[in-house]
């Protein structure tokens, strides 16, 4: 008997002070059927906002123990367009853009590519800082993680 695939909701956000500068990422993972939820956040001393947006999705997908149907909610067009539209073309061109330049953040995109292969993703763009509860919470967590690393320096 095959086991049913879990359905989860993944909310993500990244934050950076300066670009590059100190940055934070966060995710909220919800399992609607059971009502379970987990939050996680982290930070890097010198990074970019795009890297933090990618890291939030990577860490969220990495937290899943088995293949899942994932509704991914993000305010990052960079992340969502990359996953939905750009990545397949980059791979066909050997991880190069249309103008033959190496893809920026290739290490994170390749990690995300491997994670995406394990799951079924559906993409949802949400406007940032627009009173969406999970997006606001992710932003708070990412900013707090970033601030914690800044105060340590």
Per annotation, catalytic residue among 9, 44, 53, 134: 53
Per annotation, catalytic residue among 9, 44, 134, 139: 139
113 is catalytic: no
Give the integer Cα–Cα distance in Å for 136 and 12: 10
71 is catalytic: no
Strands 68-74 and 6-16, by their bridges, are parallel
Per annotation, catalytic residue among 33, 85, 124, 129: 129
Q: Residue 130: in which H helix or E strand, if any?
A: none
Per annotation, catalytic residue among 9, 14, 82, 119: 14
Give the integer Cα–Cα distance in Å for 135 and 11: 7
Give the integer Cα–Cα distance in Å for 56 and 11: 9
14 is catalytic: yes
Per annotation, catalytic residue among 9, 13, 44, 134: 13
107 is catalytic: no
Give the integer Cα–Cα distance in Å for 25 and 20: 14
Per annotation, catalytic residue among 75, 82, 119, 134: 75
* Active-site annotation, residues: 13-14, 53, 75, 129, 139
């Amino acid at each position: 008997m095959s086991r049913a695939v879990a359905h989860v909701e993944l909310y993500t956000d990244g934050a950076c002070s300066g670009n590059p500068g100190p940055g934070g990422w966060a995710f909220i993972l919800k399992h609607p059927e059971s009502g379970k939820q987990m939050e996680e956040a982290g930070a890097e001393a010198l990074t970019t906002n795009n890297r933090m947006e990618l890291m939030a999705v990577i860490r969220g997908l990495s937290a899943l123990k088995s293949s899942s149907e994932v509704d991914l909610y993000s305010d990052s067009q960079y992340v969502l367009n990359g996953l939905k539209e750009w990545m397949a073309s980059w791979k066909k061109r050997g991880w190069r853009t249309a103008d033959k330049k190496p893809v920026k953040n290739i290490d994170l995109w390749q990690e995300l590519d491997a994670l995406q292969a394990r799951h079924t993703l559906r993409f949802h763009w949400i406007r940032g800082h627009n009173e969406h509860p999970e997006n606001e919470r992710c932003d708070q967590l990412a900013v707090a993680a970033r601030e914690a690393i800044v105060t340590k320096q």
